[in-house]
Structures are given as structure tokens and as C-alpha cells.
Amino acid sequence: MKHNITKYIKLASLLLVLGACQKGDIPNLNTPDASLITVNPTKGELDNLVTGLESGMRFNLGTYLEVVGVVGREIYRFAGSEPRYTIELLGGGASTLDNNTFYITNPWASRYRTVRQGYLLIEGAQNATTITEPVRKGYLGIAHTIMAYQLLLNLNMTDENGIRVDVADYKNLGPFVEKTPALEAIAQMLDQGQADLTGAEIAFPLASGFDLAREAPDNALTAAGLIRFNRALAARVAVYRQQWAAALTALNASFFDLNGSTSAGFYNSFSTNSNDQLNPLFVPQNQSGEIRLAHPSYATDIAPGDDRIAKATLRNASATQNGLTSNRDAWVYTSNSAPIPIIRNEELVLIYAEAKIQTNAFPDAIVALNRIRIAHNLPAYTGALTQAALLTEMLQQRRYSLFFEGHRWVDMRRYGRLGELPKDRPGDDVWEEFPIPQTENN
């Protein structure tokens, strides 16, 4: 039996509908009523599916960023009622990662639930008879792009344990595939999204939960803007696959701008509006009890004068739990309506630097690294002009530029450097990957 994702969707489909700021009602996604939105749907029904797709990306995103941040020694999560943040996720004592608990099952289920929403949108768009072909291509393009992104987040967690990529038929799920073919399938899905968006007409509105034009007007809601988003994600996947030339090609078609705003890009947005979602990672400074703290190494390892220390602000008093202590709050998400990046130009500049280092184009790489260094009040790079030294510099800049955005653990793993992450207590471990949820075996 391989219907665990179905179980997740059945439990949460109603929440997806109610929490997505829909303009109209969407029937339960796993009943015969689903035919109402997949058999010759109206444009309004397709628009509602897009809205649900966008909103679904935010469900359990906070949990995802917390757990990969804790495992990657970016943050501590202190919670009086949940010791697993400070024991299991850090490998405390004889603990191991649980395959049947919130830190894997919740984000995993949410990502597949959003993928399911994408497949409904694809089926509906393919069956709609009242829309033009360019409009149809727009729906298909946004669906394939977001679905690929959701699959990538789950693969980030389970890594070599793999994911399911063939989930179009939730009643007959495909097998798990290992990391390499999974990344290939994700890349192909992004390529399909790009093909769909080429010549497309974007006739749907985007909800407030998906911000396309933050400091980058060219990323507005057009087919060209969505292609730039798609290609930015493709560049990320390409470096994960160690396909450096492909990464540079994707960057050239994205919103990458070596001299542009580092914060320009695509974000999950949050607001205090009725029926919208609040940023789940916001905690006021100097709180006690439920708090998120910067790992102490963030401050001890940062270069003098680096303005990114502002992401880890000093507390009035240190906080301690289970033998862990930090005197700095993680201060990346500074309000309950602060956006959470999906991908932004600062990452693209660093992807460019990485690809150039790996292809021995060191002068180009140094220009990009200096773009980041100078933007954060650091002098130009003066280290060794070797691939090893430049890769270390690139990873250091990614550590601070992309702090608490879900990258540090993935980056150190893909470069075989997890052993460099600090272990705070005797007996702690740095995990390489999360287990497949237990219910996947039911």
C-alpha cells in the first residue's frame, strides 16, 4: 500500500481550502467532487486552484526552515514543550531521528499536498474548453514550476533516501527514487514549466502570499517574469547536480543581476489580513520560552565589520536549554508579516561565483564574491587564488548571506563538509539526512 500521501492530503485538504484566501469555494480534493474543478473548469475555478497552489507553499514552511536550520547548526529552537528540537535534531546522547514525528511528517506532507494541488491545476487546465491556448500554457507553467520547487524541498530533507516523483495519480503512487534521478526529474519539470511559459499569457491573479516583484519590476506577473523565476530555480538545481555550465545558462535566463539589489527576487509573503497567514518564524527579541536563537558560532566566526551580524542580535540575557546556550536572537524575520525568500538575487550571485570557481574562471568568481563582500561592509577578497580557497570563501559568504533561509546544511552536505559543523555537547551528531516518514511504508 502506498497511499500515505493520500492520507496526508485527506487530513489537510480542507485546511488548504480554508487557509488559502480563496476567491471561491474549492471542493475537497480527494472526493468525487474534485471533478468539478478538473472536468471543463471555468477560468475562475482555475484561478482558485492557482491561489491554493501559492498558499500551499507556506504551510509548514516554518517547520522546514527550523529543522534544517537546527540540524545545520544555524539556529537553536528552544521550546518548553518540545525537547526534540534540542535533543533529536542535534543528535543528543543516544537519540536518532524519528521517522514518525512532526519535524519530517509535517513539512513532507505539506509539500506533497501542494504538488497534488498542482496536478489538479494541470488536469483542469488541460480539460478547460473556455480558455485560449496561451492562457492554458500559463496555468501549466506556474503549476510545473511550483511543483518542482516543492519536490526539491522534500529532497533537501531526505537526500540520498530519495523522494517519490511520480505522484500524478495519488491512488497509485510511483516508487521512491534516489537523489540523482530525483534531481533529474525536478530539472525536467522545471524545463517543462519554462516550455509552458514560453508564449503563454498570464491571465490569473496572484494572491498576496506570493510576491513576484520585490525590488525587481521585471519580475512582475508576466510570462517573462515567471520564466525568470523558473530559471533561477533551475540554476539552483543545476549546482546541486554539479552541472556548472547549465547553471550559468539558467542564470542568464533568470533575474540574476551581478550589480542589482541583493534582495530582489521571489518571496512567500505574509500579512495580518483576514484569512491570510502570519510569518511562522517571527519571535520578538529577548523573548523567553518559545524562542529561536542564532547558533553561537554565527557570531564567533563572522568577519569583523560584517553587517550581517544584524541577523543575530544580542539579547539582554543569554538563554539556556538542555546544555545549549546562546546570547543572540535569530533576527532574520523581524515582524509577523516579514516575507520568507523563495530565491533572491544574492543567492544567484553566489551561484554564479560557485559555477565560475568550479570551471576555473577565477577572476569572474572573485568579482562576484567581492560584490557580496562589499555589499556587507567587507573589504575585497585577498585570499589564495586556488579552487579550494575560493570554494571555502564562497561557502562562507553563502553561510552569512543566506542565513536561516534553508541552505547551510544542504551546502555543507553537498561539499562533504558536514564534519566541519560544530557539535555542542559530547555525544551530539550532525545528521546527513532525514528518514523517509514511517507512513510511506504503510
Q: What is the pLDDT of residues 390-427, one digit of tens each?
A: 999 999 999 999 999 999 999 999 999 999 999 999 99
Q: Alpha-carbon torsion 415, 417, 418, 421, what sign?
A: negative
DSSP letter for 56, please: H
Looking at the predicted structure, is the pLDDT value of residue 13 above 70?
no
pLDDT for position 22: 31
**Among the listed residues 387, 360, 155, the one whose alpha carbon sits nearest the alpha carbon of residue 245:** 360
The grid cell for 175 is 516508487
Q: Is the pLDDT score of 344 beyond 60? A: yes
Residues above pLDDT 90, as percent of the chain: 81
Q: What is the pLDDT of residue 220?
A: 63
Residues 6+ apart with CB under 8 A from 259: 371
3-state secondary structure 268-337: ECCCCCCCCCCCCCCCCCCCCCCEEEECHHHHHHCCCCCHHHHHEEEEEEEEEECCEEEEEEECCCCCCC
Residues 250 and 264: their CA atoms lie apart, in Å, by 17
Per-residue confidence (pLDDT) for residue 192, from 0 to 100: 98
Secondary structure of 215-279 in HEC code, one letter for each residue:
CCHHHCCCHHHHHHHHHHHHHHHHHHCCCHHHHHHHHHCCCCCCCCCCCCEEEECCCCCCCCCCC
- Cα(414)–Cα(25) distance, rounded to whole angstroms? 43
In this predicted structure, the answer to whether residue 7 has a pLDDT above a threshold of 90 is: no
**Can you say how many angstroms the Cα of residue 413 is from the centroid of all Cα atoms in its chain?**
16
Residue 221 confidence (pLDDT): 77
Residue ranges of alpha helices (H) inside 159-219 are 179-197
User: In the numeric block, which cell numbers belong to residue 62?
Assistant: 516554518
| CA 396 – CA 411 distance, rounded (Å) | 10
Burial of 292 (0-12, 13-18, 19+ CB in 10 A): buried
pLDDT given at position 210: 64
| Cα 24 → chain centroid | 28
Task: Please provide the distance, in angstroms rounded to a whole number, between the alpha carbons at the two ends of the chain.
Answer: 6
Domain boundaries, the chain: 4-276+339-344
From CA 73, how far away is CA 54, in angstroms rounded? Answer: 29
DSSP assignments along 346-398, one per residue: HHHHHHHHHHHHHTT-HHHHHHHHHHHHHHTT-PPP-S--SHHHHHHHHHHHH
312-321 and 324-330 strand pairing? antiparallel
Q: Reply yes or no on whether the pLDDT at 21 is more than 60.
A: no
CA distance 325 to 304: 22
Name the strand (E) or helix (H) holding 143.
helix 133-158
Strands laid side by side in the 265-268 sheet: 210-214, 265-268, 340-344
Report whether pLDDT(26) > 70: no
Tell how strand 340-344 and strand 75-78 pair up. Answer: unpaired
Residue 212 scores a pLDDT above 80: no
pLDDT computed for residue 3 by the predictor: 38
What pLDDT sits at residue 315? 98
As a whole number, the mean pLDDT across the chain is 90
Averaged pLDDT for residues 67-94: 96
Residue 1 has pLDDT above 50, yes or no: no
Helix (H) or strand (E) segment spanning residue 112: helix 102-127
pLDDT top residue among 51 and 303 = 303
Rounded distance, CA 9 to CA 117, Å? 10
For residue 99, what is the enclosing H or E element? none
For residue 411, the tally of other CB atoms under 10 A from its CB is 19
The CATH number of the structural domain formed by 4-276+339-344 is 1.25.40
For residue 300, pLDDT over 90 is answered with yes
pLDDT of residue 60 exceeding 60: yes
Residue 175: pLDDT over 70: yes
Q: What is the pLDDT of residue 276?
A: 85
